[in-house]
Amino acid sequence: MTLKLVLQDKTPVGGRIAQFTFTAADGSPLPGYTAGAHLDFDLGAAGIRSYSLVDFTPPGDAQAAYTIAVQREEDGQGGSVAMHALEAGAEVTATAPKNDFELRDGDAPVLLIAGGIGVTPIISFAAELDRRGTEFAAHYCTRSEALSTFGAQLSDAYGDRVSLWFDDSKPADLKGLIEGATAGTQIYCCGPKGMIEAVREIAAAAGIDHDHVHFELFASPASHEGDQPFEVEIADTGEVYVIPADKTIVEVLEEAGVDVMYDCQRGDCGICQCDVVSGEPDHRDVVLSEAERAEGNIMQICVSRANSARLVLDI
Q: Which residues bind ligand FES (CB under 6 A)?
A: 262-265, 267-272, 285, 287, 300, 302
Q: Nearest distance from residue 269's CB to ligand FES, in Å?
A: 3
**Whole-angstrom distance, CA of residue 264 vs CA of residue 87:** 26
Q: Nearest distance from residue 291's CB to ligand FES, in Å?
A: 18
Q: Nearest distance from residue 240's CB to ligand FES, in Å?
A: 22
**Whole-angstrom distance, CA of residue 55 vs CA of residue 122:** 9
Q: Nearest distance from residue 266's CB to ligand FES, in Å?
A: 6
Q: Nearest distance from residue 152's CB to ligand FES, in Å?
A: 33
Nearer residue to ligand FES within complex by CB, 120 or 265:
265
Nearer residue to ligand FES within complex by CB, 6 or 46:
46
Nearer residue to ligand FES within complex by CB, 145 or 275:
275
Nearer residue to ligand FES within complex by CB, 233 or 285:
285
Nearer residue to ligand FES within complex by CB, 47 or 58:
47
Over 202-250, what HEC string results? HHHHCCCCHHHEEEEECCCCCCCCCCCCEEEEECCCCCEEEECCCCCHH
Q: What residues contact residue 40 under an 8 Å CB cut-off, 6+ apart?
A: 48, 49, 50, 94, 95, 98, 263
Q: Nearest distance from residue 286's CB to ligand FES, in Å?
A: 8
Q: What are phi and psi of 59, to 5 degrees?
A: -70, 170
**Whole-angstrom distance, CA of residue 66 vs CA of residue 201:** 34
Q: Nearest distance from residue 77's CB to ligand FES, in Å?
A: 14
Neighbours of 251 (CB within 10 A): 18
Torsion-angle region of 270 (φ positive above 0: left; ψ -120 to 50: alpha; else: beta) = left
292's enclosing H/E stretch is helix 290-295
DSSP string, 134-186: --EEEEEEESSGGG-TTHHHHHHHHGGGEEEEETTTB---HHHHHHTSPTT-E
**Whole-angstrom distance, CA of residue 190 vs CA of residue 126:** 13
Nearer residue to ligand FES within complex by CB, 77 or 149:
77
Nearer residue to ligand FES within complex by CB, 30 or 217:
217
